[in-house]
Amino acid sequence: MHTASLCLLISLLGLPDGGPPADEDFAARVKSLDDSVNELKEKVFRTRARLLLLQETVLGGDVTSGARAVLVHRNEMGSTFYLEGASYALDGAPIFNKADNEGDLDKKQEIEIFNGRLTPGTHTVNVILSYRGHGFGMFSYVEGYRFKLQSSHTFNAEGGKATVVRIVGYQKGNVTTDLKDKPAVKYDVEVRKELRP
């Protein structure tokens, strides 16, 4: 690594000249930088969506020529699994990243992740959902388990229409299904006619 690059990295991380800090401190600073970068990416993506909408409004673009996408997170997991975190990206750009804070993420059955204009064509949503087992009574052994679901789905946004994609976290199988195989993600897609505002 070049000396200038190393000095920049040291100054960004706030490292003393004497050497690297303790592992925990270093990991916390790197995570903080990573969170800041993700926040900036999300803001850029949302600003871009607003600019596209503004451009269409100012230039008198016809609503029928563009496409709209609405992405909705839906929690149908039940009480056995507790949603600890959700991260969404649309076409590689982060649009939602939230860790549970005092149950506000897990308690909501539906959360609108994105509602905006897109260019007509295919788009991909990437999802990471983190769950913790929530056991009680004879199922208390579930409490220690952690599950991380990674999934993606490609959908077609049609010009002049709104494509609603519901990303549903749910339990698949039945009582004989192994616990590790129960958490799953499915996608419900609905295409509606876009109305002129």
Q: Which pLDDT value is given to residue 138?
A: 47
Residue 45 C-beta-side C-alpha neighbours within 13 Å: 20
Cβ–Cβ < 8 Å for 118, 194: no
Nearest to 163 by CA among 102, 122, 105: 122
Whether the per-residue pLDDT at 136 is higher than 70: the answer is: no
* 53 close to 179: Cβ distance less than 8 angstroms: no
Residue 173 backbone zone (phi > 0: left; psi -120 to 50: alpha; other: beta)? left
Contact between 134 and 82 under an 8 Å Cβ cutoff? The reply is: yes
Q: What is residue 11's predicted lDDT score, i.e. its pLDDT?
A: 58
The predicted-structure confidence for 15-58, as pLDDT tens digits, reads as follows 555 555 567 888 888 888 888 888 888 888 778 777 766 655 54
Q: Is the pTM of this model over 0.85?
A: no
Q: Give the list of residues 6+ apart from residue 79 with CB closer than 8 angstroms, or none.
A: 134
pLDDT by residue (tens digit) across 71-116?
999 988 877 788 888 999 999 899 999 887 666 777 788 999 999 8
pLDDT score recorded for residue 58:
46
pLDDT of res. 193: 82
What type of residue sits at position 102?
A: E
The DSSP secondary structure of the chain, one letter per residue, reads: --HHHHHHHHHHHT--TT----HHHHHHHHHHHHHHHHHHHHHHHHHHHHHHHHHHHHTT--GGGSEEEEEEEEEE--TTEEEEEEEEEETTEEEEEEE-STTTTTT-SEEEEEEEEE-SEEEEEEEEEEEEE---GGGGGGGG-EEEEEEEEEEEE-TTEEEEEEEEEEE-S-TTS-GGG-EEEEEEEEEEEPPP-
The residue that leads in pLDDT, 136 or 103, is 103
